[in-house]
Chains A and B, each alone.
Chain A
Amino acid sequence: NAGVTQTPKFRVLKTGQSMTLLCAQDMNHEYMYWYRQDPGMGLRLIHYSVGEGTTAKGEVPDGYNVSRLKKQNFLLGLESAAPSQTSVYFCASSPPRTEGDYEQYFGPGTRLTVT
């Protein structure tokens, strides 16, 4: 069981370039999430998905798009990268809600720098 994996681990982009971050999970989880983490800000939810083919906006969705074509994969796209998108990006997954149980399993993160 690999759990949650993220590709790539590091990336440097120039302003205006595009890229896609890939998240994959092998736990058959229904729910998947993309967060960004910035110093002093905690983790903030970008987009999430409650099942294959569905996506929804989180707290900070602007400048990002997502797709969930397969249950095990959740893609995060940056169409035109900006320096403000320099951050560490974490993907997470969780099973459907069980009473009182919301544990999310996180991937190792992608460190993105936009120059």
Chain B
Amino acid sequence: RKEVEQDPGPFNVPEGATVAFNCTYSNSASQSFFWYRQDCRKEPKLLMSVYSSGNEDGRFTAQLNRASQYISLLIRDSKLSDSATYLCVVSGAGGTSYGKLTFGQGTILTVHP
């Protein structure tokens, strides 16, 4: 079983749609959780961190369920510029993790006019 699993998609949605991505992780001791965004042929960039209380940044909402080991990302009012690959990322557990990240394989989103 992969440490971090995502539905690879692709998701094709019209502008203005709401789309949700899901992710599960296998290590219950994982401590930090993130969504990164990667544009075609570019490097990954941090989109947002994910907290147990849930957090929102404009049109983006991230949720974490530690009991189910489940992370989600909701994008409201999709824009053409949201087209990208969204990477679910989990940080290792414990003081010796040294910030090492484990990446899901990514979910491809295409927003069309």
We find that the number of chain B residues with CB closer than 8 angstroms to chain A is 23
Q: Are A42 and B105 in contact (CB under 8 A)?
A: yes
Bits for B84-102, please: 1 = Cβ < 8 Å to A, else 0.
Answer: 0001000100000011111
Binds B, one of A61-69, A74-82, A99-107: A99-107
Chain A interface residue count, Cβ-Cβ cutoff 8 angstroms? 26
Tell me if B98 and A31 are in contact (CB < 8 A).
yes
In the complex, chain B residues whose CB is within 8 Å of the CB of A101: 32, 49
Residues of B within 8 A of A41 (CB): 105
Q: List 11 A-B contacts (CB under 8 A).
A: A41-B105, A42-B103, A42-B105, A43-B44, A43-B101, A45-B101, A48-B100, A101-B32, A102-B32, A102-B101, A104-B99
Q: A residues bordering B, Cβ < 8 Å?
A: 31, 33, 35, 40-45, 48, 50, 56, 58, 90, 94, 96-97, 100-104, 106-109
